[in-house]
Amino acid sequence: MVERKCVGCGIIKDRKDLIKITAQNPLGHLIINGNSKIFGRSAYLCYNNSCIENAFKKDRLKKILKVPVPEDLKGKLLNEL
């Protein structure tokens, strides 16, 4: 069991219970990949609206991924729920 920390709430959960967002190296493109093997700097979010809102409100995704985060990513994440 591999555990990761949610960027929105800070709770540690199993990786399969979280949304994985990866900044693909060296291009820095953001990819939402729940179970893929793409390498790069990654952040994880719970499957709920409040965690997604918190991650964008405080620019946590931008700080962790170290790349600019487009605003339309929030809509894509909310649609995945």
Which CATH number does the domain housing residue 18 bear? 3.30.1230.10
Query: pTM to 2 decimals?
Result: 0.88
Q: What is the domain count for the chain?
A: 1
- Tell me the pLDDT tens digit for each residue of 34-71: 666 788 889 999 999 999 999 998 899 999 999 888 88
Band of residue 76 on the pLDDT scale cut at 50, 70, 90:
confident
In 1-81, where does DSSP find H-type helix? 49-57, 60-65, 72-80
Q: Which residue has the higher pLDDT, 36 or 77?
A: 77
The Cα 28–Cα 65 span in angstroms is 9
Q: Is the CB of residue 24 less than 8 Å from the CB of residue 67?
A: no
Domain containing 17: what range?
3-80
